[in-house]
């Protein structure tokens, strides 16, 4: 049996296939998912699992160099925005790196998801709880 935090086989496999600059998206339950992008659907019910739960587990496994979020999250979902900033700060300390944080309009964000290798759909029911994790390298 795999030892570690992330035991979901599809997510683990998707991360293992990432190269430098490849994207994985963690999405709330309402984000449209392009037909050509792998959908990993974890949504069970409202809030289960939450966006932040999934983000924290994925970050335990993936080396990230940039995060992309919608500008609207600041105003429309300040609680998630603050949690995102705290999570990014903790990730930087743990990994001893500096992440680039890019904010784009929600429309641009949705266009960017078309390039993702996979989109992980959560049970999150709050607006703009979405993030693109752009892969870095471990060396």
- Separation CA 125–CA 10 (nearest Å): 23
Report, as residue numbers or ranges, the catalytic residues: 20
CATH number of 22-135: 3.40.1650.10, 3.30.950.10, 3.10.20.30, 3.40.50.1100? 3.40.1650.10
pLDDT tens digit sequence for 80-108? 999 999 999 999 999 999 999 999 999 99
Name every residue whose Cβ is closer than 8 Å to that of residue 104 and which is 6 or more positions away in sequence. Answer: 68, 69, 70, 71, 112
Q: Is the pLDDT of residue 129 over 80?
A: yes
Dig out the tokens for 95 from the structure: 């990994």
Residue 1 pLDDT: 66
Q: pTM for the full model?
A: 0.96
Which one, of 132, 126, 25, 131, lies nearest residue 76 by Cα? 126
Is residue 131 within 8 A of residue 62, CB to CB? The reply is no
Q: Give strand ranges (E) for the chain.
A: 23-27, 38-41, 64-70, 100-104, 118-121, 131-135
- Separation CA 7–CA 84 (nearest Å): 23
Residue 12 pLDDT: 96
Which one, of 29, 118, 14, lies nearest residue 61 by Cα? 14
Residue 52: CB atoms within 10 Å: 18
Backbone angles phi, psi at 28, to 5 degrees: -70, 180
- Separation CA 98–CA 92 (nearest Å): 6
Q: Is the pLDDT of residue 41 over 90?
A: yes
Q: For all residues of the chain together, what is the average pLDDT?
A: 96
């Amino acid at each position: 049996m795999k030892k570690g935090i992330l035991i979901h086989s599809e997510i683990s496999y998707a991360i293992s296939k990432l190269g430098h600059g490849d994207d994985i998206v963690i999405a709330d339950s309402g984000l449209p998912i392009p037909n050509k992008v792998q959908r990993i659907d974890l949504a069970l019910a409202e809030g289960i699992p939450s966006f932040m739960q999934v983000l924290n587990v994925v970050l335990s496994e993936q080396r990230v160099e940039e995060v992309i979020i919608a500008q609207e999250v600041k105003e429309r979902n300040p609680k998630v925005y603050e949690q995102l900033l705290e999570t990014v700060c903790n990730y930087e300390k743990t990994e001893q790196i500096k992440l680039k944080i890019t904010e784009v309009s929600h429309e641009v964000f949705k266009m960017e998801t078309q390039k993702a290798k996979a989109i992980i759909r959560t049970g999150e029911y709050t607006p703009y709880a979405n993030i693109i994790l752009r892969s870095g390298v471990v060396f």
